[in-house]
Structure 1
Amino acid sequence: MSLVRAGGAAIAVVVAVVLQVTVFSHLAWDGVVPNVALLVVVAAALVRGPQFGALVGFAAGVLVDLAPPADHLAGRWALALVIVGFMAGLVRQESRITVPMALGTVAAASFVGTSIFAISGLILDDGTVGVVEMLQVIGIGMVWDVALTPLLLPLTMALFRRIDPPRFATW
């Protein structure tokens, strides 16, 4: 990975997490904020593939795990976003990215990522949220993430295309 690509990804992840914990925290719906870091991970994976998506997912997940007001065991978001990044990168390999495909990928990534985070909390006994509350959080999270997709995903994907363009046409 080139230094330019790594630096651009690091900046995108830091900006996303800062926006998520500052600006978007004021827009919480039943305590659920949009997962801006997840959108950056999906964008990276859709542009660069599963390995890059997993790397960006790990970095974003660790940052989300450690950013205040984190109230959970560190590593849960890192695990979730690594899997999301890899999964979204596999979508890129299968077909040309269209708007419906991008929306579907974000919805699936939001469902998978939030579910992994929630299930890992049950396994680790980290919190007192029940299954019904978890399903509500997963649904609200999906709505938030899909709603923000038209605003954030094209910009982030354009950023990842601009920094260190691929040496061959990807689609």
Structure 2
Amino acid sequence: MSDPSVRGSSPARLVLVAAAVVAALVLQTTVFPHLAWRGVVPDLVLLVVVAAGLARGSHHAMVLGFFAGALLDLAPPADHVAGRWALALMLVGYVAGQVRREAAPSVGVCLATVAACSFLGSSVFALSGLVLQDSAASIPDQLGVVLVAVVWDVLLAALVIAPVRRVRHRTQTDRLARR
């Protein structure tokens, strides 16, 4: 049986999602390093994957997470073994998509999902670095980085969720009015 979230994926929607990933990647690697807090920047690509999971479900978000993570793994200034972000964001997509299965998420649920997914994604990335001996940082140092990343991601999500939900509600209302 096919996943209902996969049906209805128009080429325009795919282009829009790809553009969102590329825009997030460019901002994350060029603009946000200048705003780093304790050397950590918000993970915009992770937020796009979480949004996809909440909007479209696990299957969609896992595929997006894999490809977005692979781009993040290969984009300069990447200094780690490729595949670590792909794995982390694929798991993030799965978790965010499972939240969507339960109900239409409220703002509070969205923020809690961002916090949980940010912790999961950052932790998987950090732990995979330890396992692969790809990181010189100690576990306490990495835990500090993970916690700062969660704070960054939740703060940024709080600024973005309300306007995006208003626009989405407005476009859905317009679409229903045209019928």
Partner of 1:131: 139
Partner of 1:43: 51
Match of 1:143 among 146, 151, 165: 151
Please give the per-residue CA displacement for 1:90-136, whole angstroms capped at 9, x wherever unaligned: 00111221011001000000000000000100110002011000100
- Summarize the Cα distance change of 1:129–1:15 in structure 2 as closer, same or farther, 3 Å threshold: same
Partner of 2:21: 13
- Summarize the Cα distance change of 1:45–1:162 in structure 2 as closer, same or farther, 3 Å threshold: farther
Partner of 2:62: 54
Q: Any conservation in 2 of the 1:43–1:156 contact (CA below 8 Å)?
A: no
The whole-number CA distance in structure 2 between the counterparts of 1:125 and 1:3 is 40
Q: Percent identical across equivalent pairs?
A: 52
Match of 1:4 among 12, 19, 23: 12
How big is the shift at 1:87? Answer: 0.6
- Summarize the Cα distance change of 1:63–1:158 in structure 2 as closer, same or farther, 3 Å threshold: farther
TM-score by length of 1: 0.89
Q: Any conservation in 2 of the 1:43–1:153 contact (CA below 8 Å)?
A: no
Structure 1 stretches of 5 or more lacking a match? 164-171
TM-score by length of 2: 0.85
- Summarize the Cα distance change of 1:161–1:4 in structure 2 as closer, same or farther, 3 Å threshold: farther
Partner of 2:37: 29
**Aligned-partner residue type, residue 130 of structure 2:** L
How big is the shift at 1:154? Answer: 4.8
Q: For this pair of structures, how many residues does the alignment match?
A: 163
What's the RMSD between the two structures over aligned residues? Answer: 2.0
Larger Rg: 2
1:121 aligns with 2:155: no
- Summarize the Cα distance change of 1:123–1:27 in structure 2 as closer, same or farther, 3 Å threshold: same
- Summarize the Cα distance change of 1:47–1:96 in structure 2 as closer, same or farther, 3 Å threshold: same
